[in-house]
Amino acid sequence: MLETVEIVKLTYDVKMTSERKVHLGVWQGAKLRSALNSAIARRYCDNIQYEKCDHCNIETCMNKYLFMFKSDNKARMQSNPIILDCPFTDTDEVSDQFAFKIHLFTPANNYADDLVDILNQGVYLGTPRVLFKASSIDTSYEKIDFAVLEQDASDKKDVTLELTFETPFITNGKSGVTPQQIIRNCTTRITSMVNTVGAGAGYIVKHEAVNEAATRVQFTECSFEDKYYGKQSSRKYKYSTIHGTVGSIKLHGDFSKIYNFLDVASKLNIGKQCTMGFGKFSMRVV
């Protein structure tokens, strides 16, 4: 049996308010990420150069660790140890309140106090920009033990799973989504997190092995509906269209090597472009 490999998840359930109502718009997760980046830069940088974070030499900056994490092992994909769990909306919202969750994973918990301080001081959101400050922050902890999850997954060799996407699964305009694409997009970030934490215990998940295991899975039912979403970048002033699908699918096959990663991803709202509110799904054994 695998040695214990634990990821400690710290969750902040945040409610923020401003002095007046503003347009929060669509893609609120992306806007929150940009606002946090700017607030963190102002905390660490004497000269505000958010556009040049890749060239910054301040190794202690949260931006570098939380949003631009680089693995010291080139064989492992990088995974930012923060998830912004924001409500998905494709219509403009006008409000003086904003609620969301932030998940931090080991060892990003070291930045927890600084992050709470930034949320209490406030971040600038909306059109026009106004200061949103935290009115309440509820904290919860959870330990994810992949040794236990891997053991639980060992008997999932001939099962049918139903995945229901509550927010769009992004396909980037590609038609004919395959089970392999869905599993890869839903598990890549989780496997990267496990590798980052498990390296010290000698536990490494090979992405190729997960992708190979996905080839032993096939569709039994697919009820997807195509969706198109427009987005205008506030920094590059470009308008783009993103293609996605919503609905449910049923997959049948051998999940013994991938069920544990799908299970965790579904509980943590980890999907493709999850910082924009996409890819949130639930899962059950049929």
**Average pLDDT score over residue span 207-213:** 80
pLDDT, tens digit, 9 for 90 and up, residues 103-131:
887 767 778 888 999 999 999 999 999 99
pLDDT, tens digit, 9 for 90 and up, residues 151-186:
788 889 999 999 998 888 877 655 567 888 888 877
Beta bridge partners of 85: 101
Would you state the structure tokens that stand for residue 51, as one six-digit string? Answer: 């556009």
* 41 contacts: CB under 8 Å, gap ≥ 6: 48, 49, 50, 53, 61, 63
Q: What is the mean pLDDT of the chain?
A: 78
pLDDT confidence bin for 76, thresholds 50/70/90: very low
- Distance (Å, rounded) from C-alpha 160 to C-alpha 171? 23
DSSP 229-283: EEEE-TTT--EEEEEEEEEEEEEEE--TTTHHHHHHHHHHT--TTGGGT---EEE
pLDDT of residue 89: 74
With left for phi above 0 and alpha for psi between -120 and 50, is residue 277 left, alpha or beta?
left
Query: Which of 55-59, 142-146, 173-177, 202-206 holds the top average pLDDT?
Result: 142-146
Would you state the structure tokens that stand for residue 26, as one six-digit string? Answer: 């669509």
3-state SS assignment for residue 59 = coil
| Selection from 246, 245, 255 nearest residue 286 by Cα | 255
Range from 7-16, 42-51, 205-214 carrying the lowest mean pLDDT:
42-51
- Distance (Å, rounded) from C-alpha 259 to C-alpha 180? 13
pLDDT, tens digit, 9 for 90 and up, residues 229-252:
766 655 555 666 777 788 899 999
* 244 contacts: CB under 8 Å, gap ≥ 6: 168, 169, 170, 171, 226, 227, 228, 229, 278
pLDDT of residue 277: 66
The verdict on whether omega for the bond into residue 107 sits within 30 degrees of 0, i.e. cis, is yes
Q: Amino acid identity, residue 90?
A: D
pTM, whole model, 2 decimals?
0.79
